[in-house]
């Protein structure tokens, strides 16, 4: 047990991950500070240094951390072992297994049976649009509410548990529904429950990961996302071979529930949070939609850039079944093989670049690495366009030779 030693009357705080060694300090936003060495923690003085034992009660309103900068940043200081950051990322595997299996295989295949091949594209587009709207509304709202939730489990865990259990229930509904309207209804409910868990879960990195390791945590998150999509597509492909998606769909939910249990059991996030300052829960929920976020220009640009990056990749991966079925003319069994091959190739190349890039970003900076990646992508695009132009020219010459008898 690691305890907080401070002159202020604050109860001891457990380490946020079991097996974690070191000291925690700062309770204004849960566990705000971590010190790798065991030494006395003293209150921060008004000038940013550590106050002596004679500090007044006003000086002890905040608990000291290693530096004033660490306290201002609201993050722990020190270093987390990679395995403990892995524990914080494992739930991403289960979440993306669900949506990888549903979006890449199950929903695309079932559209043919529910609305017919002629209307499958329209049906999938409407389903995706409704799900996206629900996700946009639910995730930030519940995430904000969880910031102020105080329970014996912590701030985030109750939402993760409730969301994961409901995910299994609604996936069973998707699996057993035989009409388009009922499938849409259960997918909307699944989006609510899934984002009910995701919003609070995404608070773990800013809550618990030291600033120098944010890139590493993001890299592990990316790897878990990729591996989750592989696992989800593999499970969903069972339905392509058997012709029955009930077991595969429910299996996705059970896998996600297992990763949620691992997260709840291994992560100890603390039990305190910021005060609501007299606001009602409705006021807390609506605060997620304040226009003050527009003042954070860098954050707005980040969201915009992520929109365009994810829009391109998701469009490719989430329509791969339609492409293999309509454009190439493959049957279900053949698609079951090749969709796993394609997903695995994409995933392996992504994983091989994501983790090293995340580690480098901790040393070189995020913007430097992002701009380097964009420059490389543009170079590949230019060379690819030239290659395609050469191929088209060669093809025209070949057809010309054939028609002229050469």
Q: What's the CA gap between 257 and 3, in Å, rounded?
A: 32
Domain ranges of the chain: 1-52+59-78, 82-373
**What pLDDT score does 16 carry?**
43
Pairing between strand 33-35 and 23-25? antiparallel
What kind of fold does domain 82-373 have according to CATH? Growth Hormone; Chain: A; (1.20.1250)
CA-CA distance, 206 to 156, in Å (whole number)? 13
pLDDT reported for residue 291:
75
Run of H or E including 35: strand 33-35
Binned average pLDDT, 10 residues per bin, the chain of 406 residues: 41 42 38 37 37 37 32 64 88 94 91 89 92 93 92 91 97 95 96 95 89 84 87 90 90 96 88 80 86 77 78 75 82 84 80 72 69 65 51 48 42
Distances from the Cα of 339 to the Cαs of 20, 202, 350, in angstroms? 41, 29, 16
- Residue 95's pLDDT is 95
* Cβ proximity of 111 and 124 under 8 Å: yes
What is the pTM for the complete model shown?
Answer: 0.69
Phi, psi of 371 (to 5 degrees): -65, -35
Q: What is the pLDDT of residue 252?
A: 95
Cβ(269)–Cβ(157) under 8 Å?
yes
C-beta of residue 159 within 8 angstroms of C-beta of residue 266: no
372: left (phi over 0), alpha (psi -120 to 50) or beta: alpha
Can you state the angle between helices 82-101 and 157-176, rounded to 10 degrees? 20
Helical axes 214-242 vs 332-364, angle rounded to 10° = 180
What is the pLDDT, as a whole number, of residue 261? 96
pLDDT at 183: 95
């Amino acid at each position: 047990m690691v305890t907080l030693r401070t002159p202020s009357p604050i109860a001891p705080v457990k380490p946020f991950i079991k097996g974690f060694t070191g000291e925690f300090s700062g309770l204004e936003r849960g566990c705000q500070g971590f010190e790798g060495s065991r030494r006395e923690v003293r209150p921060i003085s008004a000038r940013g240094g550590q106050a002596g034992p004679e500090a007044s009660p006003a000086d002890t309103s905040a608990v000291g951390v290693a530096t004033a900068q660490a306290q201002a940043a609201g993050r722990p200081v020190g270093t987390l072992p990679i395995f403990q950051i892995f524990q914080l990322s494992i739930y991403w595997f289960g979440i993306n297994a669900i949506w990888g299996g549903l979006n890449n295989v199950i929903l695309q295949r079932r559209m043919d049976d529910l609305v017919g091949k002629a209307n499958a594209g329209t049906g999938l587009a409407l389903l995706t649009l409704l799900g996206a709207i629900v996700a946009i509304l639910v995730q930030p709202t519940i995430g904000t509410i969880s910031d102020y939730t105080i329970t014996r489990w912590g701030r985030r865990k109750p939402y993760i548990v409730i969301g994961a259990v409901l995910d299994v229930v609604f996936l069973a509904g998707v699996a057993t529904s035989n009409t388009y309207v009922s499938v849409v209804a259960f997918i909307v409910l699944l989006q609510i429950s899934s984002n009910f868990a995701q919003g609070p879960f995404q608070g773990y990195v800013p809550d618990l990961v030291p600033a120098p390791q944010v890139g590493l945590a993001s890299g592990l998150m990316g790897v878990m996302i990729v591996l989750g999509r592989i696992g989800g597509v593999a499970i969903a492909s069972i339905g392509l071979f058997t012709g029955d998606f009930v077991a595969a769909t429910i299996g996705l939910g059970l896998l996600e529930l297992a990763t949620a249990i691992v997260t709840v059991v291994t992560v100890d996030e603390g039990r305190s949070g910021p005060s609501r300052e007299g606001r009602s829960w409705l006021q807390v929920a609506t605060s997620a939609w304040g226009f003050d976020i527009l003042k954070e220009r860098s954050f707005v640009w980040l969201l915009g850039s992520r929109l365009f990056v994810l829009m391109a990749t998701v469009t490719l991966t989430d329509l791969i079944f339609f492409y293999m079925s309509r454009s190439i003319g493959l049957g279900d069994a053949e698609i079951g093989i090749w969709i796993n091959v394609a997903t695995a190739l994409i995933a392996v190349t992504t994983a091989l670049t994501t983790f090293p890039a995340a580690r480098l970003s901790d040393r070189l900076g995020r913007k430097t690495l992002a701009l380097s990646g964009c420059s490389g992508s543009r170079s590949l695009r230019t060379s690819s366009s030239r290659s395609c132009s050469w191929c088209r020219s060669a093809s025209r010459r070949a057809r010309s030779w054939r028609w002229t008898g050469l």
